[in-house]
């Protein structure tokens, strides 16, 4: 088995595979030599290769766990090394068109299954990986009309063996859902920080737990979320447009001192939000 | 001393006064009879009165700790019962014009000092009050050009004796700062929930910790935050307008796939947000 990108997610997949005694030999590949050396030292992988292509030779399972924007060039590189019967999965947070493109790049007899384990943390790198990262986590699997059903079953069982709850979703629906609950909230958190800090200079030192909660994800790496938002830009843009409309309505209520309208908008949100718990 | 509104804040002021042995007798007044009975039973107040006016008779210190929109009618009611030498303070989250209005309603010889202890929790009522609520909390005091300096010193020492760090701020500046870091983020959190749940129906069941953090304050009581946003509407409206501008710029970057611009906007926010810690 080959893990491309032995970081938090890739390292945790490797550890979970080893814990379940699901493979005999794991090859690691990644950009950072120091991280790969640590992966060997920690016993997360059994060997490392200098190229992704070499890592994939003879692999039954290839896991794409590098940043999502690298998937297409990576697949272009490894395609000729993939052997019939192999299964390729990813662990990226963008699906949609990308899943169909990667699927179409697979050589004959090689099956691709798009996966998105909803697991992560602020930490990164192989040192942050654990064999329990996926326990109790949701893993979205995104089959297309061309997906091989046997490979789909095998991949589902694999994630379930890691402790995931597996749910199938259309790749486009996945990107719509995660634009709403993940990509768009990150963008808005960044925008709130800029608006507050630039409109009332010096105000942030008075921020309490409410402001901190609301903008905690604005501490996330800008590069990562820029890439995700750009890759899912049509959905994220739609969400931002929707929020602008909602804010314009609320601003109108403020400007006309329409307390009744504002109460109704706030209360609708409060009731909806309370349904998903703390 | 009279506490008008013996809830989380008013009850905690009473408990801190008793703990510091700073007064001989505390009278409580409030709308809920059950809450007042509990305040007596818990020893938070020594007696209760059926009217705010009766509670204030002979009081050296009156604390307005009811919802902020009730302050003006309440002061109108109690004014004739206030005796020269008395000090009136509040604990509301709106200052600005309201402070100057209440100040002008004071009878001759009665001093008003606007106060905003930045302490609270999701819990409410006298049962939630503690004698340590203010320990380590910031308390903003908002003197005006007419404020009596002796009364100001006494009130500062009072909050400091509760464990507060006291900071003076112009009443209008207070409302600008707290629109940015508190009132506006509440409105936005409500708007995010409405936008996400209405644009992608069913998406909220996929919400993870990022979405939950970002919208946690949208579980706050709609009535309370509607009143605060309406009372501070010119500042809050200004902030919302600023956010709409910021979001429009980001949407334009998304629509033109301007990754560089988006990275810069995200990274500026990330760096600013990291400065105030987790």
pLDDT digits (tens, 9 = 90+) for B4-22: 999 999 999 999 999 999 8
What percent of chain A is predicted at pLDDT more than 90?
Answer: 96
Q: Give the domain ranges of chain B.
A: 2-169, 173-275
Number of residues assigned to chain A: 278
Running DSSP on this structure, what letter comes out for residue B183? I
Closest C-alpha among A173, A161, A112, A172 to residue A137: A161
For residue A55, the distance in angstroms to the closest alpha carbon of chain B comes to 31
> Hey, which residues 25-54 in chain A have their CB within 8 Å of chain B?
none
> Which residues of chain B make contact with A257, given a CB cutoff of 8 A?
230, 233
DSSP A259: H
Alpha-carbon distance B40 to nearest alpha carbon in chain A (angstroms) = 32
Residue A218's closest CA among A236, A196, A238?
A: A196
Q: Which residues of A touch B202 (CB under 8 A)?
A: 177
Q: Are A185 and A171 in contact (CB under 8 A)?
A: no
pLDDT tens-digit series, residues A212-238: 999 999 999 999 999 999 999 999 999
**What is the rounded CA–CA span in Å between residue A95 and residue A201?**
39
Residues in chain B: 278
pLDDT of residue B122: 61
* pLDDT tens-digit series, residues A8-19: 999 999 999 999
Asked if A225's CB is within 8 angstroms of B217's CB, the reply is: no
- Interface membership of B225 toward A (CB under 8 Å): yes
For B215, residues 6+ apart whose C-beta sits below 8 A from its C-beta are A185, A214, A273, B189, B192, B193
B163 interface with A at CB cutoff 8 Å: no
Domain A2-169 has CATH 3.90.550.10: no
Structure tokens at B222: 């709609």
pLDDT for res A122: 61
> Rounded to an integer, what distance in angstroms lies between the CA atom of residue B124 and that of residue B127?
7
Chain A residues inside the 8 Å CB shell of B231 = none
pLDDT band at A270 (very low <50, low <70, confident <90, very high): very high
B242: nearest CB among A199, A214, A237 = A199
Q: Which CATH superfamily does the domain covering A173-275 fall into?
A: 6-phosphogluconate dehydrogenase C-terminal like domain (1.10.3660.10)
User: Quick check: A247 and B250 CB within 8 A?
Assistant: no
List b or e across B224-247, with b for residues whose CB sees 16 or more CB atoms inside 10 angstroms: bbbbbbbbbbebbbbbbbbbbebb
Interface contact A199-B223, CB threshold 8 A: no
| Angle at alpha carbon of residue B20, lines to B14 and B22, rounded to 5° | 70
Whole-model pTM: value is: 0.92
Mean pLDDT of B101-113: 97
In the prediction, which pLDDT does A124 show? Answer: 83
Give the bridge partners for A2, in sequence order: A27, A62
In terms of CA atoms, which chain A residue is nearest residue B274?
A219
Interval B51-65 mean pLDDT: 97
Where would I find the H helices in chain A? 8-19, 33-41, 52-56, 71-78, 96-105, 149-161, 171-178, 184-199, 209-215, 222-231, 233-255, 259-275
Residue A121: pLDDT band (50, 70, 90) is: low
Q: Give residue-wise pLDDT tens across range B154-175.
A: 999 999 999 999 999 999 999 9
Closest CA to B31 of B10, B17, B15: B10
Band of residue A147 on the pLDDT scale cut at 50, 70, 90:
very high
Name residues whose C-beta falls within 8 Å of residue A235's C-beta, 6 or more positions apart in sequence.
Answer: A175, A176, A179, A180, A183, A184
Q: Per the CB < 8 Å rule, is B262 touching A195?
A: no
Is B221 at the interface with chain A, CB within 8 A? yes
- pLDDT at position A123: 73
In the predicted model, is pLDDT for residue B23 greater than 90? no
Test mutation, B94, B202, B214, B259, chain A, max A CBs within 10 A: B214
Q: Nearest residue of B to residue A234 by CA position? A: B255
Question: In 3D, which of A129, A18, A19 has the Cα closest to residue A65?
Answer: A129
ipTM above 0.85, yes or no: yes
Q: Does A226 touch chain B (CB under 8 A)?
A: yes
* Range B142-160 average pLDDT: 97
Q: How many other C-beta atoms can be found within 10 angstroms of the C-beta atom of residue B25?
A: 11
Nearest to residue B242, comparing CAs of A120, A217, A196, A163?
A196
Residue pLDDT, tens place only, A33-89:
999 999 999 999 999 999 999 999 999 999 999 999 999 999 999 999 999 999 999
Tokens for B232, please give them.
């501070």
Give every CB contact of residue B256 below 8 A, 6+ residues apart in sequence.
none
Q: Which of residues 246-275 of B touch A (CB under 8 A)?
A: 246-248, 250-251, 254-255, 257, 259, 262-263, 265-270, 272-275
Is B87 within 8 Å of B65 (Cβ atoms)? Answer: no
| C-alpha closest to that of A3 among A65, A47, A76, A67 | A65
B137 touches A at CB < 8 Å: no
CB A5 within 8 A of CB A13: no
Contacting residues of A for B206, CB less than 8 Å apart: 118, 138, 177-178, 181
Place of tokens 């708007």: B191
Query: Taking CB atoms and an 8 Å limit, are B181 and A263 in contact across chains?
Result: no
Q: Rounded to a whole number, what is the distance in Å from the CA of B268 to chain A's nearest CA?
A: 7
The sheet carrying A27-29 orders its strands as A47-48, A27-29, A2-4, A61-64, A87-90, A111-113
Measured in angstroms, the CA of B55 and the nearest CA of chain A are apart by: 31
- B-chain residues within 8 Å CB-CB of A225? 266
B278–A187 CB contact, under 8 Å? no
In this predicted model, what pLDDT tens digit does every residue of A175-195 receive, in sequence order? 999 999 999 999 999 999 999
Q: Are B13 and B3 in contact (CB under 8 A)?
A: yes
A137 near B CB under 8 A: no
Q: Does A237 contact chain B (CB < 8 Å)?
A: yes
Is the pLDDT reported for residue A23 higher than 90?
Answer: no
DSSP string, A140-202: EE---TT--HHHHHHHHHHHHHTTPEEEE--HHHHHHHHIIIIIHHHHHHHHHHHHHHHHSTT
């Amino acid at each position: 088995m080959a893990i491309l990108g032995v970081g938090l997610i890739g390292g945790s997949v490797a550890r979970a595979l080893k814990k379940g005694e699901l493979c005999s030999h794991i090859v690691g590949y990644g950009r950072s030599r120091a991280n790969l050396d640590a992966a060997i030292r920690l016993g997360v992988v059994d060997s490392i290769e200098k190229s992704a292509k070499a890592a994939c030779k003879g692999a039954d399972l290839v896991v794409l766990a590098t940043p999502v924007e690298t998937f297409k060039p990576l697949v272009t590189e490894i395609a000729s090394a993939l052997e019939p019967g192999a299964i390729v999965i990813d662990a990226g947070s963008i699906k949609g068109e990308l899943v169909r493109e990667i699927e179409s790049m697979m050589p004959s007899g090689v099956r691709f299954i798009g996966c998105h384990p909803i697991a992560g943390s602020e930490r990164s790198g192989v040192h942050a990986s654990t064999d329990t990262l996926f326990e109790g986590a949701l893993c979205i699997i995104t089959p297309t009309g061309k997906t091989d059903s046997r490979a789909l079953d095998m991949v589902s069982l694999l994630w379930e063996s890691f402790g995931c709850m597996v749910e199938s979703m259309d790749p486009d629906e996945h990107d719509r859902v995660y634009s709403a609950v993940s990509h768009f909230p990150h963008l808005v958190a960044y925008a709130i920080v800029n608006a507050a800090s630039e409109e009332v200079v010096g105000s942030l030192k008075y921020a309490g737990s409410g402001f901190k909660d609301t903008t905690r994800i604005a501490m996330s790496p800008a590069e990562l979320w820029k890439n995700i938002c750009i890759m899912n830009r049509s959905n994220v843009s739609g969400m931002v447009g929707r929020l602008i409309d909602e804010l314009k309505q609320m601003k109108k209520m403020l400007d006309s001192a329409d307390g009744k309208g504002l109460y109704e908008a706030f209360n609708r949100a409060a009731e909806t939000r309370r349904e998903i718990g703390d």
